[in-house]
């Protein structure tokens, strides 16, 4: 078994991948690579705009479900603090929706690719 660590933020457990290039192992590697690439593009965009780094990335949803930030802006909250709180919420929302979108697109294809040919070629109503 190969062990690949696909996360640079914090200490994450290594992700076991199969050494064969079967459908599921290969697709899982592409899945992890795609997540990492999308996070890097997003962080690079924030860096170019001189914004604060993302507090939640898509890769964080692989370890669990990060807590959704609760934003409470009162009269004593400065404009800068309010902006930072809104950005934290935006980072979480973007990462959550990106993960859900990616799962909707890839899990179906990954699942179907490991089924026998007669089953994977069936229409949904046949299954």
Domain with 108 in it: 2-114
124 in a domain, yes or no? no
127 in a domain, yes or no? no
126 in a domain, yes or no? no
Give the count of beta carbons closer than 10 Å to the beta carbon of residue 56: 21
**Verdict on whether the full-model pTM lies above 0.75:** no
122 in a domain, yes or no? no
Predicted pLDDT of residue 12: 40
70 in a domain, yes or no? yes
Based on the structure, what is the number of domains in the chain?
A: 1
Contacts 24+ apart (CB under 8 A), 63-70: 63/7, 63/12, 63/13, 66/92, 66/95, 68/92, 68/96
**Per-residue pLDDT tens digits of the chain, which is 127 residues long:** 333 344 444 434 444 444 444 555 666 777 788 888 889 999 999 999 988 888 888 888 877 888 888 888 888 889 888 888 899 899 999 998 888 888 777 766 666 666 666 665 666 554 4
123 in a domain, yes or no? no
């Amino acid at each position: 078994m190969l062990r690949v660590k696909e996360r640079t933020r914090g200490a994450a457990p290594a992700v076991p991948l199969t050494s064969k290039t079967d459908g599921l192992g290969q697709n899982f590697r592409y899945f992890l690579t795609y997540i990492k690439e999308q996070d890097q593009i997003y962080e690079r965009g924030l860096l170019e705009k001189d914004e604060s780094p993302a507090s939640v990335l898509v890769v964080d949803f692989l370890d669990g479900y990060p807590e959704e930030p609760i934003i409470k802006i009162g009269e004593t909250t400065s404009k800068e603090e309010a902006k930072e709180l809104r950005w934290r919420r935006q980072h979480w929302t973007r990462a959550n929706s990106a993960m859900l979108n990616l799962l909707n697109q890839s899990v179906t294809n990954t699942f179907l690719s490991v089924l026998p040919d007669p089953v994977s070629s069936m229409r949904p109503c046949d299954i």
